[in-house]
Structure 1
Amino acid sequence: MNAATKFDHVADRLIKMSEVEFITGLSRPTIYRRMRDGQFPLGIKPGGAETRWLESEVRDWLAKTLTKRTIGPAND
């Protein structure tokens, strides 16, 4: 079994803030503000002090944000 197939069953990754910033283009303070306001996926702390995010949740959030930009709000 090679490395690629060994981890095929892993459905998601926990990603660091730096990767969240890279994927979203948002700054650290903006990410935490949006989390506080319920406008961004909440992070988790899986055993340490550093917060991680599920990559799928961050990418889903980005896709929804881009969809809003493309089609606009429903009741404009």
Structure 2
Amino acid sequence: MEGISTLAEIRDLTKLSNTTIFRLVQNGQFPKFLRPLAARSYWRATEVEEWLRVHTNGGGDANDR
């Protein structure tokens, strides 16, 4: 994964719901999103990859955490 990721891509990668993703962001437990356009949220792919590495066994389903 390179560049930026959309919310849909983050959901697919983490298997987390929108609500859970934004709650984790708000609590400082998930990378903050970028908002270059008011209607969309984006994440730095490298930050999400690091989060997945730390919170899963190299990626996959983060719901088990």
TM-score range, shorter chain: 0.7 to 0.9
Is 1:65 paired with 2:59? no
CA distance in 1, matches of 2:15, 2:46: 16
Stretches (4+) displaced over 4 A: none
Equivalent pairs counted in the alignment come to 55
Question: Can you list the C-alpha shifts for 1:18-69, whole angstroms capped at 9, x where unaligned?
Answer: 00001111110000000001100000112x12110011111110100125xx
Percent identity between the two aligned chains = 33
> Which consecutive residues of structure 1, in runs of 5 or more, have no partner in the other structure?
1-11, 68-76
How high is the TM-score relative to the length of structure 1? 0.67
Which amino acid in structure 1 is aligned with residue 14 of structure 2?
Answer: T
Cα root mean square deviation, aligned: 1.1
Whose Rg is larger?
1
The structure, 1 or 2, with the larger RCO (C-alpha pairs under 8 Å, 6+ apart) is: 2
> Which consecutive residues of structure 2, in runs of 5 or more, have no partner in the other structure?
58-65
**Counterpart among 5, 8, 11 of residue 15 in structure 1:** 5
